[in-house]
Structure 1
Amino acid sequence: MAADPRVPRVLILTGEPLDGPEGPASDLARGLVRAMPYAEYLWLRRWWGTSGTSAPGRAAGGRALPLVTRGRPLSRPLWAQVAAVGAAASHRVDLVHAVIPVGSGFATFSRLWPRLAARRPVLHTVPSVVDPAHLWGARPLGRTVAMSGATAQVLAAAGFGPVDVVGPVLRLGPWPPRPRARRTPPMVLALGDGGSEEALLAAGVAARAGARFQLVLVANGQGGGGHAGRPDEDALRAIAAREGLLDMEVLRRISDMPGLLAAADVLLYVPRALVGRADVPAPVLQALATGRPVILSDLPQFAALHDTVLRGPVADPHRTGHLLRELLDRPWWWEHLAERGRAVVEERFAPERAAEAYADLYRELLVGGGQGA
């Protein structure tokens, strides 16, 4: 990468261990480490137990640094542990690559980091801005990268600019294109994450307009740093009954996402806002890679998907419901969107594309030797 032929050492700094529960930041960081063969990485792992989540491991050039704190992601105890371990490790690397969302503790962390850490160049990838209010008093860690143009604008307005934009990463191997399941009725897979009620209302509109389908709702709260808690299942079933949705299943967690997408016909994800989620959540890319049309809220973070997906106005279940009905009733439209979705993921979100962009950024920072901000 740099003029020095030695492979650079890079600290991947995350607000949660990479072998811990899946989340937007840890998912992105794992993808980057696996996609970037140019560096020797140090990354954070749990001291205790196992979670079933695959960590980068030595196969990806990784060396683990243990975290002792058992706090939830983005909690103050974990922030303190990340700052301490990361600051100590920064003296042993050439570059720090932070993959940290802007959450409630970020402003304090951003002010403390320069005082604790070695003066190494920092590249900060922001998976999401949980709330723009959390940018108040925050300082750039270094060169900043956003995952969407919408988030880049928010960061630039807060004094983090100029902000680069590099899209998310999806390894295509686990998500091969799958033929449409020939099942009756078709299955609509709806993600909650702050949009459970909106999904039920849209599905109700589609059902009353004549669509016949089974609805599988993943009602797992907001996840990824949101604290709204898990939706009450009785309340969701009451809404479904009121909307005439008689064939509905509620899932609290997904144990086999590839199998669930293979069985589904459509992915429905219509939150009013993205809270603690990556700008393009992983299940959306996974569905597109599998060849499943996706219906989303028309949020600015999804603009990069262009015409790959269908987008209904935010909080407009009438329009969204009719999009769902039309999609289920038009096989030719389904086939077009399925083919287009897979092609766009291969073109824009394959690891090689992100690896090239980050390799250039690494090179600029390592050659320049500065913070890049």
Structure 2
Amino acid sequence: MTADRRRVLLFTSHPIDARDGADKELSVAIASGLPEFRFTWFGRVGGRGREPLSGGRRIPLLSPSGMPGRAERAQAAAWALALEPRSDLLHAVMTIGPAFGAFTRIRERVLGGRRRPALHTVPAVEDPARLAGVTPLGTTVALSRSTEQMLCDAGFPDVRLIPPGIDLDRWSARPRPAGRLPVVAFAGHYDPGGGVDESVAALGSVASSGRPLSALFLMRPRPGQDEDREAERLRERARAAGITDVVVQGRTPDMPAAVAGVDVLLLPARHLHGKADVPLTVLEAMATGRPVVVSDLPQMAALGSAATRVPAGDVAALAGAVLDLLDGPGRWDAMAQAGLDLVRREFSADGMTARYAALYEELLAPRAASGATEAR
């Protein structure tokens, strides 16, 4: 094994050139920031020309939707088992869901001694109850202290904390728009409990109080959801709640511009259900200089006082937090600056990739030493 361009199999549950999401964004940021390694990654059949990574080896997956469905997961798992023995390091970036435990058992039986050092970045855990009895892939990386503790409590032996990072060149601070209605945005999924229902109710309450605003919903469907139908239902619910100026937007080609056009971003989730522990959209809004209002889930503690946190499910508190920001220029300025400072200090892509580079070297060191001994 040579010291340069060591081979890393980037194991994701779907093609990373086909959809947005925390696992894709983290995968691309890590691989882009570590040019000294040669990555093998999963792309979509017919997706040439949209490569998120400029180098490495692209493995095509059949994926009509580009989302992590059962077929995509099965293909990715099969390719991972075939390619891992030809790699120097396996780096999985995927949420721990129902099928994860089965894959780790199959990997152990199929590969045995041909397994390579493995690293698993866990954007989120869908159901903590499923952690019981799960065999880790290897060293596990959590994005937040709450998930780090959860994994340790479940018996994962080697858990590290590396917060997510975002590209601060792409997500740079922009001035607050002026001369129009304030725009309050929610970004997320249509799932109950994800915060969209609370956002509709709270913004309806704000609008009904006589405070004019525009509501923007930046939505991503789950596999199997009819995006057009879900969007129309959301518009109807927003209007019924008293929001007269409402926009529901799906996949957005220029998210930095979309986020720069809002005044406040909301993510009042009652549970994250597979979203990143520290949602990247929240960090991106903070990097743009936009105050955020989130629920007080344990994972959100990583944001400290740089975000306004309200009790999960408390619509009145959410509406009050929005009004405080819209009607208090000093409050808006202070929270915008606090978020900007936090992201620059703790959530940069450069800082994240430096920590992964050190971890890669740590995991590869025993294999390098073994190779040197054999060469002698």
Partner of 2:74: 80
Partner of 1:251: 249
Q: CA deviation at 1:49?
A: 3.5
CA distance in 1, matches of 2:257, 2:4: 43
Partner of 1:154: 150
Q: CA deviation at 1:247?
A: 2.0
The answer as to 2:208 corresponding to 1:201 is no
Q: CA deviation at 1:97?
A: 1.0
Higher relative contact order (Cα pairs below 8 Å, separated by 6+ residues): 1
Partner of 2:35: 37
**Which of residues 117, 121, 124 in structure 1 aligns to 2:117?**
121
CA distance in 2, matches of 1:116, 1:290: 47
CA distance in 2, matches of 1:67, 1:236: 32
CA distance in 1, matches of 2:25, 2:178: 32
Identity over aligned pairs, percent? 38
TM-score (norm. length: structure 1) = 0.89
CA distance in 1, matches of 2:181, 2:68: 42
Q: CA deviation at 1:112?
A: 0.9
Label 1:249 to 1:71 Cα distance change in 2 as closer, same or farther (>3 A): closer
Label 1:287 to 1:54 Cα distance change in 2 as closer, same or farther (>3 A): farther
**Which of residues 252, 259, 263 in structure 2 aligns to 1:261?**
259
* C-alpha contact 1:76 1:105 (8 A) present in aligned 2: no
CA distance in 2, matches of 1:182, 1:9: 49
Label 1:365 to 1:234 Cα distance change in 2 as closer, same or farther (>3 A): closer
Deviation per CA, 1:262-319, whole angstroms, max 9, x where unpaired? 2211111112111121112221111111111111111111111111111111000101
CA distance in 2, matches of 1:202, 1:45: 40
Label 1:313 to 1:320 Cα distance change in 2 as closer, same or farther (>3 A): same
Partner of 2:52: 55
* C-alpha contact 2:18 2:66 (8 A) present in aligned 1: no
* C-alpha contact 1:11 1:90 (8 A) present in aligned 2: yes
Partner of 2:281: 283
Q: CA deviation at 1:348?
A: 1.2
CA distance in 2, matches of 1:39, 1:232: 42
TM-score (norm. length: structure 2) = 0.88
Deviation per CA, 1:321-366, whole angstroms, max 9, x where unpaired? 0010011011111112222222221211112211221122112211
Partner of 1:333: 331
Amino acid at match of 1:260: A
* Secondary structure in 1 matching 2:199: helix
Label 1:7 to 1:241 Cα distance change in 2 as closer, same or farther (>3 A): closer
Q: CA deviation at 1:258?
A: 1.7
Partner of 1:324: 322
Label 1:352 to 1:256 Cα distance change in 2 as closer, same or farther (>3 A): closer
CA distance in 2, matches of 1:115, 1:70: 31
**Which of residues 155, 179, 182 in structure 1 aligns to 2:178?**
182
CA distance in 1, matches of 2:246, 2:166: 30
Q: CA deviation at 1:138?
A: 2.2
Question: Any unmatched runs of 5+ in structure 1?
Answer: none
Q: CA deviation at 1:369?
A: 4.1
* Secondary structure in 2 matching 1:91: helix
**Which of residues 123, 142, 145 in structure 1 aligns to 2:141?**
145
Amino acid at match of 2:119: L
Amino acid at match of 2:173: P
Label 1:192 to 1:361 Cα distance change in 2 as closer, same or farther (>3 A): closer
CA distance in 1, matches of 2:65, 2:98: 14
* Secondary structure in 1 matching 2:167: coil
Q: CA deviation at 1:137?
A: 4.1
Deviation per CA, 1:110-138, whole angstroms, max 9, x where unpaired? 11112334221101111111222333442
Deviation per CA, 1:142-163, whole angstroms, max 9, x where unpaired? 0111111111222222221341
Partner of 1:315: 313
**Which of residues 80, 88, 111 in structure 1 aligns to 2:105?**
111
* C-alpha contact 1:146 1:164 (8 A) present in aligned 2: yes
Q: CA deviation at 1:241?
A: 3.7
Q: CA deviation at 1:23?
A: 2.1
Question: Any unmatched runs of 5+ in structure 2?
Answer: 369-376
* C-alpha contact 1:33 1:56 (8 A) present in aligned 2: yes
